[in-house]
């Protein structure tokens, strides 16, 4: 068997997309219910009301360190470790969406908290250890990098953060909106561990006439200038390269998502 969809999907994080996008076309993962306006990056000096119980999001480390860790999640962690770190009630089995309606067994952290929820794909699926990929796509997520990369960041802000233009795959298809190159900007030396996906929001009138940024292909960020505030980061993907190489995935665990969900409930 050739490369599995999960390996092709994971490879989107660290190599140009164009060569692999069409090999694994599928539908978008089911959204996590949340409100777009709730998104925020936690602040160390944010005042806490002592009269109210401390929310989980106020005590959970939500820092993403590309190639190192997501909060307390490191390359050697297991599901059992996560239960010790975050509490068993906050760690559940959950299908990890790959592509083409296919999933693999995974784990969801903080399933009931849209500010902290994330999905993990394991390298050692039987032991549920050594994560290969973490996916974050709740609109109100608090996970962020020290540089300010987070869900909800607009293209305008992304250009300021990167300090250079970037390239992305065209919107409105199964693998649309992925940043394919940071063009030597701030995130260029970090993109081996962190992938970013953009989407169009609040475009009630549609795209400006003549603006062609839809469909398969790669486009420069300069084309986004008329709608920079309408393009936002909607998904972050974090990859542990060492585990990706250590646990080659040939798709043996991939099934239709409903079948994976049924297996996890057994």
pLDDT digits (tens, 9 = 90+) for 205-246: 789 988 999 999 999 999 999 999 999 999 999 999 899 899
The domain that contains 149 carries what CATH number?
2.60.460.10
Instruction: Note whether residue 49 is domain-resident.
Output: no
CB-based contacts of 93, cutoff 8 Å, min separation 6: 105, 106, 107, 108, 264
Q: Tell me the average pLDDT across 29-40.
A: 34
**Confidence class for position 6, pLDDT limits 50, 70, 90:** low
Token code pair at residue 79: 């599901």
Q: Is residue 37 part of a domain?
A: no
Tell whether 212 is covered by a domain. Answer: yes
- How many domains does the structure of the chain reveal? 1
The rounded distance, in Å, linking the Cα atoms of 154 and 172 is 18
- Does the residue 98 lie in any domain? yes
> Residue 211: inside a domain, yes or no?
yes
The answer as to whether 52 is a domain residue is no
pLDDT band at 182 (very low <50, low <70, confident <90, very high): very high
Q: What is the rounded distance in angstroms from the CA atom of residue 11 to the CA atom of residue 21?
A: 10
pTM: 0.78
Is 159 within the bounds of a domain? yes
Q: Domain of residue 236: give its range.
A: 5-26+58-265
Average pLDDT across the chain, whole number: 80
How much of the chain exceeds pLDDT 90, in percent?
53
| Domain-located, residue 157 | yes
pLDDT band at residue 171 using 50, 70 and 90 as cut-offs:
very high
């Amino acid at each position: 068997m050739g490369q599995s969809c999960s390996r092709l999907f994971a490879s989107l994080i660290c190599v140009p997309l164009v060569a692999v996008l069409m090999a694994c076309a599928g539908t978008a993962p089911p959204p996590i219910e949340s409100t777009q306006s709730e998104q925020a990056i936690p602040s160390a000096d944010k005042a806490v009301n002592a009269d109210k119980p401390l929310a989980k999001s106020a005590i959970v480390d939500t820092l993403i360190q590309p190639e190192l860790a997501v909060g307390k999640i490191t390359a050697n962690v297991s599901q059992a470790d996560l239960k010790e770190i975050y509490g068993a009630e906050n760690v559940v089995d959950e299908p990890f969406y790959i592509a083409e309606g296919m999933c693999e067994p995974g784990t969801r952290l903080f399933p009931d908290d849209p500010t902290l929820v994330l999905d993990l794909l394991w390298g050692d699926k039987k032991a549920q250890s050594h994560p290969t990929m973490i996916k974050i796509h709740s609109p109100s997520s608090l996970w962020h990098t020290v540089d300010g990369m987070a869900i909800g960041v607009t293209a305008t802000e992304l250009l300021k953060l990167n300090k250079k233009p970037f390239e992305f795959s065209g919107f409105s298809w199964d693998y649309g909106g992925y940043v394919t190159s940071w063009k030597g900007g701030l995130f260029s030396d970090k993109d081996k561990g962190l992938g970013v996906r953009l989407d169009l929001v609040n475009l009630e009138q549609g795209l400006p006439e003549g603006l062609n940024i839809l469909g398969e292909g790669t486009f420069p960020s300069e084309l986004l200038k008329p709608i920079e505030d309408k393009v936002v980061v909607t998904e972050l993907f974090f990859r542990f390269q060492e585990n990706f190489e250590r646990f080659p995935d040939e798709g043996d665990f991939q099934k239709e998502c409903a079948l994976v969900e049924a297996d996890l409930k057994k």
